[in-house]
Amino acid sequence: MKILLIGATGHVGSAARQALEDRHEIIAASRSSEPGVDLLDPDSVARLFERVGTVDAVISAFGAAPVKPFAELAREDYLQAFERKALSQIDLVRIGAPHVADGGSFTLTTGVLSREPVPRFTAAAMANGAVEAYVMAVAPELPRGIRINAVSPSVLQSAPDYHAAFRGFVPVPSERVGAAFARCVEGSITGRALAVD
């Protein structure tokens, strides 16, 4: 398969790449790569798809959100979280669907915050929940047998800078996260958010 992977250099994207690159052609894209893309700019996303042509699968390992206590979160913080984590991935599907082959797939990324509360991560949790609801709702409407899922990992072993914020969570190995991406890309499921705990 020809797979477009956005965010290949991060912890989650690296896990996806390692799980798939020995069997498939991976086109890695980010703001600093060639081909480049800015997921916050729909025109940039459109240019990327025009450049790479038809793909069999699209993986998004992108997203960020403000980390602040509830009392400090302003409306702008929630908007930023929604744009960077949810709307960016929604736009990827909206713009990219015509460029995905019949029977192809999208795999988005959410995280444990959509199902477990962690102090200071309220905005991220909101955005993760939005992505998972979108995946469920859009799955039956995508054309030409295109599937869509999300991978929702807990904190990764490879990301020790986050471990202190996720006390009580057992960090998950990258191999398990990568396996979830492989299941989404190579399997038959759709409309699911695969938890990796």
Q: What is the pLDDT of residues 145-184, one digit of tens each?
A: 999 999 999 999 999 999 999 999 999 999 999 999 999 9
Tell which residue, 105, 95, 155, 113, has the closest CA to residue 135.
105
Structure tokens at 117: 């509360």
pLDDT band per the 50, 70, 90 thresholds, residue 138: very high
Residue 180 CB contacts under 8 Å (≥ 6 apart), including other chains = 151, 153, 194, 196
Query: How much of the chain is helix, strand and coil, in % rounded to 5?
Result: 45, 20, 30
Note the pTM of the prediction, 2 decimals.
Answer: 0.97
Q: Are 154 and 171 in contact (CB under 8 A)?
A: yes
Average pLDDT, the chain: 97
Dist. CA 139–CA 137, nearest whole Å? 6
Q: Enter the DSSP assignment of 173.
A: P
Q: What is the pLDDT of residue 64?
A: 93
Query: With contact defined as beta carbons under 8 Å apart, do 191 and 139 qualify?
Result: yes
- Full set of structural domains in the chain with CATH: 2-196 (3.40.50.720)
pLDDT band at 33 (very low <50, low <70, confident <90, very high): confident
